[in-house]
Chains A and B, each alone.
Chain A
Amino acid sequence: NAGVTQTPKFQVLKTGQSMTLQCAQDMNHEYMSWYRQDPGMGLRLIHYSVGAGITDQGEVPNGYNVSRSTTEDFPLRLLSAAPSQTSVYFCASSQGADYGATNEKLFFGSGTQLSVL
């Protein structure tokens, strides 16, 4: 099973460049999300989606855009990269998107190490 697939694994950008981190899941999950991981800060939620066509902001959305045109894909766009966006990015998904989906664990991709110079 592929699970959650993220590409690329590594990326180096120059300040001001734009790029898209790809995320795809093959588990027919309704809920998908993007996190960034910085030392000493754990994982912080950037954006999430509870289904195709529906997205919302998390804790740290500034500088990032998302869209959800299909159930499978949830790309994360950096509009104009800044050094502060140097981080490890994780995409994650879970089955439910109901109000009561508190028992659903997240399935994570393998992460993208992004450096912005």
Chain B
Amino acid sequence: AQKITQTQPGMFVQEKEAVTLDCTYDTSDPSYGLFWYKQPSSGEMIFLIYQGSYDQQNATEGRYSLNFQKARKSANLVISASQLGDSAMYFCAMREALNDMRFGAGTRLTVKP
């Protein structure tokens, strides 16, 4: 069963605007971590942000924030003030207690000038 679902294969955003990338997950484990990675066209995987299942506050890292809604099992990534360099694939991932990190199919974000 798919544990991480990213329903937006592609997204467009105008430069300097904010964009939300959706992610829902499925787990029965009370302890888990949620991650977002960025993959630019060069191919490397860049860690962006982390949210723990017990964290009360939404995680933020610079222009990135994670909109964590535990009851709805969603962990959407919000990028504020988009820049051209934000154009990339974005992957949502979850790590449960037995170590494996599982990834969604990804969302390709294109920032328009």
Contacts and interface: CB of A to CB of B under 8 A. Distances in A.
B100 to A, nearest CB: 6
Contact of B106 (A42, A50, A90, A97): A42
B103 A43 contact: yes
Interface in B1-42: 4, 6, 9, 31-33, 35
Contact of A108 (B31, B44, B50, B52): B44
Contacts of A42: 4, 6, 91, 103-106
Contacts of A92: 45, 101
A90 B53 CA distance: 26
Interface stretch (A12-20, A65-73, A98-106): A98-106
A36 to B, nearest CB: 11
Contacts of B99: 31, 48, 50, 96-97, 101
Contact of B50 (A40, A45, A97, A105): A105
Contact of A103 (B4, B6, B33, B106): B33
B101 A58 contact: no
A4 to B, nearest CB: 10
B9 A102 contact: no
12 contacts: A42-B104, A44-B103, A45-B102, A92-B45, A96-B99, A102-B32, A102-B52, A102-B53, A103-B95, A106-B47, A106-B101, A110-B43
Interface of A: 31, 33, 35, 40-45, 48, 50, 58-59, 88, 90, 92, 96-97, 99-108, 110-111
Interface of B: 4, 6, 9, 31-33, 35, 43-45, 47, 50, 52-53, 91, 93, 95-106
A-B interface, 3 closest residue pairs, ranked by CB to CB distance from nearest: A108-B45, A102-B33, A42-B103
